[in-house]
Amino acid sequence: MPHIFDPLLGLSLIIAFGYLGGKIAHRLRLPSIIGNILAGAMLGPHGLG
C-alpha cells in the first residue's frame, strides 16, 4: 500500500512542533530558537527514525 503524504499536514506539524518547542525552551529559560532547532532536528529526515 503506497504512503500518501499530505504536504499541508506535514507543514502544519512542523509549525506546531516548532511552536511547542519554542514554548518549552522559553519555560526552561532558554532562547526559543533552541526549542525550534531541537524540534527541527527531531522532525528532520534523520531524527527519530
**Which residues fall within 8 angstroms of residue 28, CB to CB, at 6 or more apart?**
none
The pLDDT-based confidence of 1 (bands split at 50, 70, 90) is: low
Residue 48 has pLDDT above 70, yes or no: no
Nearest C-alpha neighbor of 40 from the set 6, 8, 9, 19: 19
What band does 46 get if pLDDT is binned at 50, 70 and 90? confident
CB 21 within 8 A of CB 35: yes
**Residue that wins the pLDDT comparison between 1 and 27:** 27
Q: What is the pLDDT of residues 9-38, one digit of tens each?
A: 888 988 999 999 999 999 999 999 999 999
